[in-house]
Structure 1
Amino acid sequence: MRSRPLDDLRIAGRLAVKRGLPVSLIFFVTSRCNLLCRHCFYWEELNKKKGELELPEIEKIAKSLPNLLTVSLTGGEPYLRPDLPEIASAFEQYSHVRNIQIPSNGLLVAKTLERAEALLNKVREARVATGVSLDGPRDIHNEIRQNARSFDCALETLKGLKALKAGRPNLSVGVALTVSSINQHRFEDFYRFVSEELEPDAVTITLVRGNPIDPSLKAVEMQRYVSIAQEVIKYRRERRPAGSWSERMVIAKEEETYRLIAAAASADHRIAPCYAGELIGILSELGQVYLCETLDRKMGNVRQFDCDFAALWRSAEAASARRFQKELGCQCTYECAMSINTLFNPGKALRIVRNTFK
């Protein structure tokens, strides 16, 4: 089993030295999706491409990243990949990953639960955080997801995932909410339903970003977002395991991340260092490695490096992409990057530690 103290020392080391392989990988395992959500930033890439990375290639990639802390297996709809359990297992076995995150729209109930159970039977040590996206009450959710069955299917999938928790302490089942102009005024009643009726292990929020199908959804009132974030953190604190300092630290990090996102959404310039292309990697289903999810700048394709991610990461093109990011000084609210930017920023890390033990 992986040594948590060694992981903690490695995190501390990367606070000072950002050079090296990424500690977090966002892997779009498929572009296939069975919904066309109005807030989706990836909609132009969905269901159009063949040639997804195959399992032997993914195993090579995992072997070339032996010290990952976190991998997010996303899409598209990740549970559409029949080999998702084997993909997750490869990252646990070869990358020694501590956290595996898998979002889902929950539409394909039986298939999602079958593959989630198979995955959990293979992944025994890494923490698996999975769950469903719920964007408000039934009418709002179905309107955003453009599918009349999506809300009820998501609830059924969530119930089934919670049932898988028995005997699996490494499983966390959550609800993810994308805050948009449509649902921002309906949060209070919906939150009560989620917290009292559904009782997930965690509730997380993201802010509509990028180039969604419906750009009007980006008109979010920041004070609404801040209020929603505060309720989400309150829920996490109420449900944290008693005496768990590690869970308290995760919550403190999330609180600081939400604070940074709210500030970034209102700013017209970069307000904190960004470690995209240094501590976080973006891998597409076709093997393309991007500097950031919000930028079209590529660092290369792993297939051109025989699926050796580390070799690509150290390439001249990757170095050029990093210089481009520094010179661009771009600003965004991309949650995965913001989470890493928060955790590995020395000043913010100290604040996280203080808030952990307050």
Structure 2
Amino acid sequence: MSALYSWSRFGLRTAAAAAGRASTPTKLIFVVTKRCHSRCVYCDIWKVKDTPGGLDNELSLEEVRQVAAANPFLQWIDFTGGEPTDRPDFVEVVQAFSAACPDLLVVHFPTNGIATKRITEAVQQLQASLRAQLVVTVSIDGPPELNDRLRGIRNDFAHAVDTFASLRRLLGPGQVFVGMTLHGHKASTGLTTSELVESTFAAVNDALAQRQEAPIDWGTFHLNIPHLSQHYYGNAASGEKSAEKDGFGGEMHRAEIAAALRLAANKPKHGGAPVMRAVERIYRAEAMKYLATGKTSITCSALLSTSYLSEKGEVYPCTIWDQPLGNVRDSNYALMPHIEAARRNGIRQAVVEQKCPNCWTPCEAYPAIGASPGRALLALVHG
């Protein structure tokens, strides 16, 4: 398919979702593995590999190929983990969807950036074989000392900067980003979230300068709100005590995150498509509402234009709501039987009525913005 045809089709399908017409989702979030060699204090995914049987029963490559073949309508896929590239056949996994989905437009994956050589080689192979646009986000959660403590790996910051620089040379500056999750660490660092954002941005550019690499600007530096999710992060099992963990603060922490988002909004940004700058502005405006009230005015598109598939084949509404819908191994690897059942059983309606846990993660937020043009426009005007 030509890119123009595929983008036109994506636009029509997004417009149909905006009109409330239920069809096949355009986007899939696919956890390719729970393998991860980070040891993050705010995420327990890395513990799965050390749990007896924790990695058993992950979808095999042949099963992944069957999933791809059974769902050729996908146009946007986030491959996540764990660390996606810790799966030895990660490149083949992505290529399976590229081969089976003729209108695939965007492939994105986050990375911890630890194994620079392996990650770079994977991106080189994907760049040579994908028709879709390849986008990568490298996770950096603070200046060097704090980042390494939070992510549990010595020299993690240095490895992540090396990986960012390597991938940016390959893909270009518009396709590689730094992602920082805004955990609260004032008690242990004496710095507000805004101060940590400023110092992390400066530290990344200092490290790039030491490598004789061009600096990043604020358009490349993405800030994310932390969330709890049992089936994904595995960080909500302790219930109320989870909220007491370092990095999952209460009202004061939410206020600090809002201040950091305002700080970033006022920083100069160069390049980038106007539509993407508008989407970022809408994301921030709705993030402010979420931080203040726990809800947004934009209706989530989970089970309408987005879906989530775990490493073991379980279908969920999204990354946050721990509501299993069934396993693709029981539906010839097709997503739609589970999504359609969730629509009939009122689970999609619960999302519409905000009776789900409610979140504002980029995985769900960006598709929701596209599927809610009226409310998104209001957020853009008033944000």
Displacement of 1:223 after TM fit?
A: 4.3
Q: 2:115 is matched by which residue type in structure 1?
A: L
Is contact 1:131-1:161 (8 Å) kept? no
Instruction: Specify the alignment match of 1:110 in structure 2.
Output: 117
Instruction: Specify the alignment match of 1:243 in structure 2.
Output: none
Please, which moves more after superposition, 314-323 or 98-107? 314-323
Instruction: Give the Cα separation in 1 of the matches to 2:381 and 2:98.
Output: 31
Instruction: Give the Cα separation in 1 of the matches to 2:68 and 2:379.
Output: 30
Q: 2:369 is matched by which residue type in structure 1?
A: T
* 1:288-317 residue CA offsets vs partner (Å, 9 max, x unmatched): 001222122111100111112223322368
Q: 1:144 is matched by which residue type in structure 2?
A: L
Instruction: Specify the alignment match of 2:232 in structure 1.
Output: none
Instruction: Specify the alignment match of 1:256 in structure 2.
Output: 282
Instruction: Specify the alignment match of 2:23 in structure 1.
Output: 20
Please, which moves more after superposition, 37-46 or 258-267? 37-46
Q: 1:306 is matched by which residue type in structure 2?
A: N
Is contact 1:41-1:210 (8 Å) kept? no
Q: TM-score, normalised by structure 1?
A: 0.86
Residue from 152, 172, 179 that aligns with 1:146: 152
Q: TM-score, normalised by structure 2?
A: 0.80
Instruction: Give the Cα separation in 2 of the matches to 1:303 and 1:294.
Output: 22
Instruction: Give the Cα separation in 2 of the matches to 1:148 and 1:43.
Output: 16
1:332 aligns with 2:359: yes
Instruction: Specify the alignment match of 1:244 in structure 2.
Output: none
Distance change (3 Å), C-alpha of 1:149 and 1:353? closer
Q: 1:7 is matched by which residue type in structure 2?
A: F
Instruction: Specify the alignment match of 1:267 in structure 2.
Output: 293
Name the % identity. Answer: 23
Is contact 1:176-1:204 (8 Å) kept? yes
* 1:59-105 residue CA offsets vs partner (Å, 9 max, x unmatched): 22223333323210000000111222222222233222211111000
Instruction: Specify the alignment match of 1:87 in structure 2.
Output: 93
- Secondary structure at the aligned position of 1:176 is classed as strand
Displacement of 1:348 after TM fit?
A: 2.8
Instruction: Specify the alignment match of 2:305 in structure 1.
Output: 279
- Secondary structure at the aligned position of 2:315 is classed as strand
Q: 2:332 is matched by which residue type in structure 1?
A: D
Q: 2:116 is matched by which residue type in structure 1?
A: V
Instruction: Give the Cα separation in 2 of the matches to 1:38 and 1:279.
Output: 32
Instruction: Give the Cα separation in 1 of the matches to 2:38 and 2:15.
Output: 40
Instruction: Give the Cα separation in 2 of the matches to 1:41 and 1:69.
Output: 30
Distance change (3 Å), C-alpha of 1:317 and 1:68? closer
Please, which moves more after superposition, 42-51 or 250-259? 42-51
Instruction: Specify the alignment match of 2:170 in structure 1.
Output: 164
Structure 1 unaligned segments of length 5 or more: list them.
241-246
Residue from 40, 43, 50 that aligns with 1:40: 43
Displacement of 1:46 after TM fit?
A: 5.3
Instruction: Specify the alignment match of 2:212 in structure 1.
Output: none
Instruction: Specify the alignment match of 2:253 in structure 1.
Output: 221
Distance change (3 Å), C-alpha of 1:236 and 1:292? farther
Instruction: Specify the alignment match of 2:105 in structure 1.
Output: 98
